Structure 1
Amino acid sequence: MNIRICIDVNDMERAVAFYTEGLGLHCGRRFQSGFVELLGAGSPIDLLLQTEGSRPLPGQAATRSYQRHWTPVHLDFVVDDIDAAVSRLLLHGAVLEQPVTDRIWGRIAGLADPFGHGIDLLQFTGRGYDAIPSSQDSLPS
């Protein structure tokens, strides 16, 4: 099974610049329907041009908003140099919501893209997630 990540945006050129220049992804294909495929991550990311205020589903009252919004799903991008990545993304319109913080597994920063979507940057150090004690580590032998 493959996964494709779809991100609604209301300004395609700004979105392409944000994700290519800010994160180092590159354009795969551009479609006339307002759809750009980005490559360079573990899965393709599809930017979908959608008008602010449009309805995501027929008959639904909710409308698209590109103000900062919270959702239980977000994207984590693993980077080699978190400080440089944060700086690049801020230049392209990201909002820093959680400054770079050290964790047992590495470093994390929380941002919002220019379209209100939350993204985290991760920089693994040492053993990465393997440095996190698992529940099995605390079981008696």
Structure 2
Amino acid sequence: MEFLVNLDVDDLERGIDFYVQAFGLEVGRRFGEDGVELIGGPAPIYLLAKASGSPAYAAGGVTPGDQRHYTRHWTPVHLDVVVEDIDMALERAIAAGATQEQPTVTDSWGKLVLMADPFGHGFCFVQFLNRGYDEIAT
């Protein structure tokens, strides 16, 4: 089994710039004017150009009133990016255009910081400490 991550962006070149600069990914394949594959992480990320204000689709059809927007939005799915040095990752991502949403927190299992990319997608940086999640696993 393989997972592919798809992210909508309103500006494909800006999206490429952000994800290459913030995470050190590289452009793999291009799919015409509307898509690009970014490689170099544990799963490829596909950036898909979708205009702001275009309809957002739910299972079974268009949900009235739901339109794409690229201000900060909530979704129950987000990326956790495991890093060796959370401070360095945070600095790199902010320089590329990310927003830090809360201060970094430290727990027995590691450090965590909540972030958003320039397109409104949330993600977290995680730096494991000690035994990682085994510190709190039951």
State the TM-score, normalizing by the size of structure 1. 0.89
- The corresponding residue for 1:69 is 73
State the SS of the aligned residue for 2:6: strand
Structure 2 unaligned segments of length 5 or more: list them.
Answer: none
- The corresponding residue for 1:98 is 102
Does residue 60 of the first structure (1) align with residue 63 of the second (2)?
A: yes
State the SS of the aligned residue for 2:8: strand
State the SS of the aligned residue for 2:28: strand
State the SS of the aligned residue for 1:99: coil
Structure 1's consecutive aligned runs of 4 or more residues displaced over 4 angstroms after TM superposition are: none
Instruction: Measure the CA separation in 1 of the matches of 2:79 and 2:70.
Output: 16
Is the deviation greater in 46-55 or in 15-24?
Answer: 15-24
Candidates 107, 115, 120, aligned match of 2:119: 115
Structure 1 unaligned segments of length 5 or more: list them.
Answer: 135-141
Instruction: Measure the CA separation in 1 of the matches of 2:108 and 2:30.
Output: 40
User: Which has more radius of gyration?
Assistant: 1
Displacement of 1:56 in angstroms is 2.5
Displacement of 1:45 in angstroms is 0.8
Instruction: Measure the CA separation in 2 of the matches of 1:59 and 1:116.
Output: 21
User: Paired residues, what number?
Assistant: 134
Displacement of 1:126 in angstroms is 1.6
Asked if structure 1 preserves the Cα contact closer than 8 Å seen for 2:10 and 2:49, the reply is yes
- The corresponding residue for 1:83 is 87
State the SS of the aligned residue for 2:89: helix
Instruction: Measure the CA separation in 1 of the matches of 2:106 and 2:83.
Output: 14
Q: How does 1:8-87 map to 2 (within 5 A)?
A: 8-57=8-57, 59-61=62-64, 62-87=66-91
Displacement of 1:28 in angstroms is 1.1
Q: Which amino acid aligns with 1:40?
A: G
Q: Normalized per residue, which structure has more strand?
A: 2
